[in-house]
Structures are given as C-alpha cells and as structure tokens.
Amino acid sequence: MYYKIINTIFKFDGQDLYINNKSYKGKRATIEALLLFLQNNGNIVSKDELLKHIWKDVIVSEASVFKLVQLVRNIFIKAGLPKDIIENVYGKGYRITYNIERLPKDFSIPAVASSNRAGLSFKSYYFTITTIILLGVGLLIYTDTSQKVDFLNLDKKESMVALMNSDWEAGLLQIDTILQQDSSHLSSGDLAFLYGKKGLSQYHLQRYNKSIKSYRQALKLFKSLNDKVHLGQTHLNLARSYGRLTSADNSHEKQQEHISSAIILFEQTNSQEKIIDAQMALAYFYKKNNKIPDAISLYEKTILDAQNIGDTTGEMIANSNLAAAYVVINDYDKAIELGQKGLQVALEIGKGIYIANTYSFLSDLYQNQYKSIEAMAMIQQAIKYQLSTNALTHLSPKLITLNFILVQTYQFDKAEELLKLSSQYTMSMNANSGVSIISLYQGLNAARQNNWLEAEQHLLEALAISQRINFKYKQPLNQAYLALAHYFNNNYLQAIEPAMAVINNKSSNQQSQAIAALALAYTYGLMEKIELAEKWYLQTQKLQDPKWLFEYQLFLKLKLERQQQSNSILISQTEREIIDISLQMQNLAQSVLVDADIFTNLKQQILQKIVSNN
C-alpha cells in the first residue's frame, strides 16, 4: 500500500514501513497508528478508535493515546512534512490536515537522480540563497521572545487547559512537546503561560519540587511582562507547592512570603476574587500553624467579602474551611452546620473537586459523632467525585477519612490492607503529617485486635513524627492510646506520663480524656495505689460514653475485675454487657461495608501514584 502527502511517499509492506524508499524501524503500535491515520483520508480518528485499534482489550490511559499521536506526528515531521500535519480536534480526536493520495499497488518510486544532473537555474539558485539569508536575518531580528506575537491563541490555550483537566499527565506531555518543538515561535507571553500550566500539572501530579521550578520560570516571565494579576497568581501557586513540602526547612517562611506577595499584587490591581483566594490561603496557613483564632477571624471576613462581590465559589470554600477550623477546637455542632451549608453551595456550583472535598469533610464530621453509616455513604461519594476529576492532589484527606472509618467500624482486614498502602503512598510524597496520621490509625487498628505490641510501635512512631513537625491533629488520642499500650505491654510505669499529658492538655477532647483516665485507673490498680486507682476509675466512669464501643468494653473489663475482687452480685450483668458490645462491633463491621468497586479502583489509583512517585 502506498500513500502520498505532498511529496512524501509512505509504503506499507506487511509489518514494514518505508518512507521515500527508506526503511523505517519503529514500534508496531506507532506504525499501526500511522497507517490508521492515512487510511482515514483526513477524517477524524477518535481516541476510542485508537484505543480499540491499537490496544484492543488492554486498558491504557489517555496519556498513552496522546503520546502515540505525538510519535506519529514526529515521524511525519522527520519525513519533511509540516509541523501542523496532525490537528487536535477538541473533544473529538485527531486528523491529518493535508491531502492524502492513495497510490496504485504497482506504483514505483523514481530513483534518486545522480549528482551530475542539471542543477537549478541561476535565478532559482539566487532566489533560494536570498530567501535563506532573509530568513536568517528574520530569525536574528525576532530572537528576542518579548518582541514576538503570541503563538498560542485563545483556542489553543483552552484546548490545552481542557486536556490538562481531563488528564494531567497528558497535559504535561503536550506542554513539554510545545516547549521543545515550537520554541522558536513562542513569545514571552506564551512561555509564561506554558510554564505556569506546567507547574500546575506537576502540582496536581504531586511533583511539588518540579512544580516550584516551573512556577519560578513563570514568575520571571510574568514579571518581565509587568502582568501583575498572573504574577500574583503564580506567587499563590508557589505558596501552595511550598505548603506541600512540610519536610523542607524553610517551607513555612516561603509559603507566607509568597502569599503576602500575592495579596499585595491583587490589591494593586483590584482583583477582588483573587484577593478572596489569597486570604483563604493565608487563613489556611494560620490554621495549619495552630493560630486558630486568627484563622477563624480571617475566614469570617473572607465569607463576607465573597458575599459582597457575589463570589459563590469563594464563599463556599471559605465556609468549608471555617468549619474545619471549628473542628480543631472540638466544636462539632458548629462545624456540621457550616459543612452542610457548604455542601449545598458546592452542589449548586457543580464542580467535582468542590463536591468531593465537602462530602469528605462531612464524612469526617459524622464519623467523629459515631454516625458511621452516614460517614461511609459520604466518603464513598467523595472518592467517586475525586477520582472522576483525575486529580490526586486532594486525595489524601479522603484516604485518611476512609481509613479512620474502617478502623472505627472494626473492619480490621480491609483497614490493614488500605493502611499499609496509604503508608507507602504518604511516604512516597514525603507527607510527614499524613505518615503520622496513618501510623496512628495503624496503632488503633492493632489495639482493637488486642495486638498491643504492634500498636505500641505504630503509636510511638506517630507521636514522634507529630511532635517533630508540631502537628497537633489527634495528638491527645495518640498519647491516650499509647498509655494503654504501655500498660498492656507491662510497661505500666511508662503509661503515666502520656496519660497525664492528655489530662493536662486543655485541647484534649472527652474521648481522649476518658481513655487516658482509663489507662491511669488500670496502671494505679496494678501498682496497688488504691486511692489513685479509685480516683481515676471514677473519672473514667464519668467520662466514658457507651457509643465508644471498644473503649467502653475496656472500661467494663476493668469494672468486672473490681467486681470479681469484691464478689459483687453484678458480675453476670457486666459479663452480658461485655458480650453485647462484642456483638455490636460485629454488627457494625457488617453494616458499614465499603463498596468493593470503589475500594478496588481507589487501590489501583494509589498503586499507580506510588510507582510514579518513586
């Protein structure tokens, strides 16, 4: 089979490809895709057609399709065809933009003429040399990118952004291809746009150090263009990337520095919606660094500012973040009220990532109130929306919430499987706060199976990390369970210090206080310090809540020991209560099951991300 585009002839002989009579050695998939384009005679080849024709039953990502098209385009370009030979028809597929001529089977390519054949006429020669000189001068004149007209028009930019939103990896590949192949055509404005979007793609792919390098390139270019709005946005994006690098020495200072720069630039340009975004970034920075009153005050101001300018999205995000600030100070009623308002606004806006984040947040709130059925339903909705956005940047909070629900509903095997994977995932991202939380949940999961030695190891690791990075989230719960683990591993003298740390911590919630008091009651009882054992037993009895099934069962077991020592007539009643709680835990594990398809899909996505991070 022979095909001709302009003066380039393609010959297919079985599995072999010849271009202008020269053999081309390439991968089977690339040659098959090139033939498919030629056979379609300029008609659109959809992504589904490429997937079905090239990979058949093998599952691949859209990034693989885009890469394959780029390889075919490179063959055409190396054969001397124009760079715009393949057009990306947004939302439909790709097509060849030049006329394709199918040649007869008996067609033969003329032999290349010898070097002593008649040459070009003098006029043609003169014209060719003159043209080359003029082109060279033109290139010298327009080497300065700041003087060039933008190569990327609005349609091209929108098409790139659409590809990025559907597949960040494919979007990044397209940006790199343009930077490599079209560099001579790109203006400073084009380069600033491309490096900004490259940084954004790398951020969503969780390559934070690389995203910082790309954003810095964009920062220089926007500064040279005196584009203050985009300069401010790039500062804000840099702050977010630095915020993810919790292990870096100066990440906090850099984060605050870039947020401040963004606010100044947005105020100078009166960019009101951008000011809303920057204020929320600053409020989040306050919350993350335990400046909760400052965070609450700034979030409340931001909500009012957003309402005044009709920024519904800004209002929704500020509202949800304000709710999260109230969680830190254990005001769950206020947090749920704000979270439900945020969900309604998110559903009205209709953007997947906002809906996912709000569902996840409410799930966490409900689980903290031990409403496990509602919590599981919401986290599954959150994960569905999250995976549909094709962005894993905000997956960690959903993952952490699902792990917590599995632990709290005594689904030990599922929890252990996901916790192990989550530990690898957070470590691959150097996310110390995530590693700390996952280690805590691994400790809880082991403890609830009465594997106290393993629990102690995980809890010690979690506490060490959280104290090193000044991460306060659930630290009292960690210390309270660690006190119990020390007791059950016969390290009872070590149990007193973490338990008292929880008791003396004003930010400890009731559950953590109850567990710490229980650890002290057990410990002082073993040490035969009767008055102290009685004091902490009564304190535990006062604080305990029957909805905390595992912890309440531990309290009942201590109660049973005391009754047996005094030969109480209530022994059989307490024994029945202990058995009843065991049944409740079994029923809970069976009634709050995670959807198998969602669980499998989530694990696949995490595994892929771990591989790419390493």
Give the largest Cα separation in the chain, rounded: 121
Q: Name the DSSP class of 1.
A: -
- The pLDDT of residue 248 is 60
Tokens of 127: 């014209």
Q: Nearest-CA neighbor of 12 among 103, 110, 97?
A: 103
The CA–CA distances, whole Å, from 432 to 245, 395, 435, 610 equal 9, 15, 5, 15
User: Whole-angstrom Cα distance, residue 356 to residue 2?
Assistant: 52
Architecture of the domain made up of 145-270 = Alpha Horseshoe (1.25)
Tokens of 334: 């206020």
**213 burial class (0-12, 13-18, 19+ CB within 10 angstroms)?**
middle
| Number of Cα atoms under 13 Å in the Cβ half of residue 161 | 9
CB atoms within 10 A of CB 226: 7
Residues of the chain with CATH 1.10.10.10: 2-103
Q: For residues 224 and 146, is the Cβ–Cβ distance under 8 A?
A: yes
Tokens of 284: 């989040």
User: Whole-angstrom Cα distance, residue 533 to residue 193?
Assistant: 67
- Torsion angle, CA of 348/351/356/361, rounded to 10 degrees? -50
Architecture of the domain made up of 439-604 = Alpha Horseshoe (1.25)
Partners of 23 in the beta sheet? Answer: 18
Residues of the chain with CATH 1.25.40.10: 145-270, 439-604
Angle, CA 272 vertex, CA 271 and CA 278 arms, to 5°: 90
The amino acid at 483 = A
The secondary element (H helix, E strand) that includes residue 64 is: helix 62-78
Q: For residues 316 and 349, is the Cβ–Cβ distance under 8 A?
A: yes
Across the chain, which has 614 residues, the per-10-residue mean pLDDT values are: 88 85 83 89 85 70 73 87 80 84 73 37 38 41 54 82 80 89 86 94 89 96 94 94 77 90 93 92 90 94 92 87 87 89 85 84 86 93 82 78 94 95 88 90 97 96 88 91 96 93 92 97 94 96 95 96 94 96 95 91 86 72
DSSP string, 505-561: -TT--HHHHHHHHHHHHHHHHHTT-HHHHHHHHHHHHHH--TTSHHHHHHHHHHHHH
Cα-flanking dihedrals φ and ψ of residue 199, to 5°?
Answer: -60, -40
Q: Which residue has the tokens 């091209």?
A: 156
Q: For residues 1 and 12, is the Cβ–Cβ distance under 8 A?
A: yes
- The pLDDT of residue 350 is 80
Q: Nearest-CA neighbor of 396 among 366, 441, 351, 447?
A: 441
- The pLDDT of residue 392 is 62
User: Whole-angstrom Cα distance, residue 70 to residue 173?
Assistant: 9
Partners of 128 in the beta sheet? Answer: none
Tokens of 104: 């007869």
Q: Nearest-CA neighbor of 498 among 478, 528, 518?
A: 478
Q: Name the DSSP class of 2.
A: E
- The pLDDT of residue 146 is 53
Q: Which residue has the tokens 């206080």?
A: 513
Partners of 101 in the beta sheet? Answer: 4
Radius of gyration of the chain (CA): 32
Q: Nearest-CA neighbor of 462 among 490, 441, 486?
A: 441
| Number of Cα atoms under 13 Å in the Cβ half of residue 322 | 24
Q: Which residues contact 107 (CB under 8 A, 6 or more apart)?
A: 2
Residues in the chain, overall count: 614
CATH number for 2-103 (one of 1.10.260.30, 3.40.640.10, 1.10.10.10, 1.10.357.10): it is 1.10.10.10
